[in-house]
Structures are given as C-alpha cells and as structure tokens.
Amino acid sequence: MTQHTYKTARRRFKRANTVLMAIYVIAILGGTYYLKSLEIEPLWLQITIAFLVAAPLCLYLVSMLRYFQETDEYNRMLHLQAFAYGAVFTVSMVFIVGALQMFDVIESFEIFWLGVMFFLAYGISHKVIGGKDCA
Amino acid sequence: MKNVLRVLRAEQGWSQAKLADQLGVSRQSVNAIETGKYDPSLPLAFAIARLFSRSIEDVFSDEVALSQAAE
C-alpha cells in the first residue's frame, strides 16, 4: 500500500477544486458582465461563455471520480454512497419535472438547476451518511 | 467483526492520526474501524496486522463464530 495515499488524493482534489471553481466564478461573473455591456450579443460569444461556465463543472465531476479512486476505502464508500443518493434524487427529479412538462402542468424548467440539485443532494447525503467522519 | 485496534494502538502510544498516517488512510477510517462502524478490506486488515507484527486473527475476530462457539 502506498504511503499517504489519502493525503495525496485529498491534496490533489483540493488543488483541482480551487482552480476549477475559480475558473467557474470568473467565467460566470465575467461572462455575464461582459455580455450585458454589449449592445448586440454575438451567438459565438454566448456559446463560448456557456462552455466556459459548464466546462469547470464537468471537470469538477471528473476530479471527484478521480478522488474517489485515489482516496482510502472508507472515504470512497462514504462518497460513493452519497454520490448514489445524489444521482437517485436528481434522476427522480428529471422524471418528475419531465412528466409535469409532458402533461402541460409546467411550461419550462431551467435544466441547469438539476446539476445544482445533484451537488446539493450529494453534499447533504454525505453529511448524513458520514456524520462526523466526513472528510 | 470485532477488533482490538484501539488496544494495540494504545500500547504503542500512537494517536489515531499517527496510525492513519502509517497506513496511508484517513483518521476517520481508523476511527470507523476502531468503533466497529466499518470493517476494513482484506488488504487493509493485513496491513494493520503487519504494522503491529500480529496475525490477522489476533487483531480481528468474527463475532458470529465467537457467538456460535459460546453456544
């Protein structure tokens, strides 16, 4: 067994987390501000900013999976359980909202918020499952 | 599964953090194993036994087998 496996994994995850969240905040705040400052918003610029906002979030999920692989077995178990609960909640919401739309109960729903709901459900589940052991 | 990890650690005068460092796991993992909240995998159980120069049966015992033997 490699020494300091858990510590190395945690350090790598924190580093990736900091960089990706910084890019996300800059992209969403800077992009919104810049687009509002323009009289006409070019489509190519809107697409670019949208990808700049989404990319760090997708890469954050990838870095989470890498952390799950690299961390110790107990933390892996806690995180994967929480991830599964988050996924169950989010996919259930997709079906519920989708069915409500299908039967014209609601008109539109910003799908971006489902991603936010996933992270929220994952975080809460992790806290509930792990209790004081959350790391 | 029962274990005597807390006793062995106390004999060495190690903290949970120090033991965790030596095993390459988190302090929370050591705590979870000691309190019986989590049963370690075989590789980790062997690593723990090796660290204390014990056999795996000296550190971990099967509760079901123990209760059956008592009956």
Question: Which ipTM did the prediction report?
Answer: 0.86
From residue B17, how far is each of A61, A92, B25 by CA, in Å?
Answer: 29, 40, 9
Does A5 lie at the interface with B, CB-CB under 8 angstroms? Answer: yes
Which whole number is the average pLDDT over A107-117? 90
**In A, which residues are within 8 Å of B19 by CB distance?**
none
**Integer Cα distance of B39 and A99 in angstroms:** 42
Both tokens of residue A67? 């952390």
What pLDDT is stored for residue B31 in this prediction?
A: 95
Nearest residue in chain A measured CA to CA from B51: A1
Chain A residues inside the 8 Å CB shell of B37: 133
Cβ within 8 Å, pair B44-A1: yes
Structure tokens at B18: 């120090």
Confidence bin at A107 (pLDDT 50/70/90): confident
Q: Which of A2, A7, A74 sits opposite B28 (nearest CB)?
A: A74
Q: Per the structure block, which two tokens stand in for A111? A: 């799908």
Percent of chain A with pLDDT over 90: 81
With a cut of 60, say whether residue A1 has pLDDT above it: no
Flag whether residue A133 sits within 8 Å of chain B, measured between CB atoms: yes
Between CA A18 and CA B10 the distance in angstroms is 38
Q: Per the CB < 8 Å rule, is A6 touching B20?
A: yes
Q: Would an 8 Å CB–CB cutoff place A48 in contact with chain B? A: no
State which CATH number among 1.10.357.10, 3.40.605.10, 1.10.260.40, 3.40.228.10 fits the domain covering B2-55+62-70. Answer: 1.10.260.40
Please indicate whether, in this complex, the C-beta atoms of B31 and A135 are within 8 angstroms of each other. no
Tell me what the mean pLDDT of segment B52-57 comes to: 95
